[in-house]
């Protein structure tokens, strides 16, 4: 039986993605909203002189803030999920392997191995096997 996992999830592959998501999560409030106060000020100034573009700039600034906060939330979820994925996958792989080994040996405790068939498969029976 091959005990090698057929699906591998490695920390080396997921850690950079998790780090990037965490970094973006941390930077978004400052970087993504850096021009927010200027956007509101420009919109209010243009509204003050009855220009329709003032209201549009205010709506755009509000929409931008909403999108930045949604993106930040998504980055937090991605980072949290990836930080747990490697551990969870390793535990699942171990449980699955244990279940398969139990299922393939269930009820075979009193069955003597056929040494000729084992030898054909390149498997040497352990010393002391019946």
* Inside any domain, residue 62: yes
What does the pLDDT read at residue 128?
44
* Inside any domain, residue 130: no
Q: How many domains does the chain have?
A: 1
What does the pLDDT read at residue 121?
77
Give the chain's mean pLDDT: 84
Q: Which domain holds residue 33?
A: 12-89
Is the per-residue pLDDT at 5 higher than 70? no
- Range 36-41 contact pairs with CB under 8 angstroms and sequence separation of 24 or more: 36/61, 36/64, 36/65, 39/64
Quick one: what percent of the chain has pLDDT higher than 70? 82
pTM for the predicted model, two decimal places: 0.60
State pLDDT tens for residues 36-50: 999 999 999 999 998
């Amino acid at each position: 039986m091959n005990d090698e996992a057929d699906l591998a999830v490695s920390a080396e592959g997921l850690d950079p993605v998790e780090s990037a998501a965490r970094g973006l999560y941390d930077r978004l409030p400052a970087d993504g909203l850096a021009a927010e106060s200027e956007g509101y000020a420009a919109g209010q100034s243009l509204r003050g002189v009855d220009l329709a573009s003032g209201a549009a700039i205010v709506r755009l600034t509000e929409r931008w803030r909403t999108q930045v906060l949604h993106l930040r939330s998504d980055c937090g979820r991605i980072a949290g999920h990836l930080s747990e994925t490697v551990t969870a996958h390793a535990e699942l792989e171990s449980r699955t392997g244990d279940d398969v080994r139990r299922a393939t040996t269930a009820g075979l405790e009193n069955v003597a191995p056929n040494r000729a068939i084992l030898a054909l498969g390149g498997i040497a029976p352990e010393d002391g096997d019946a």
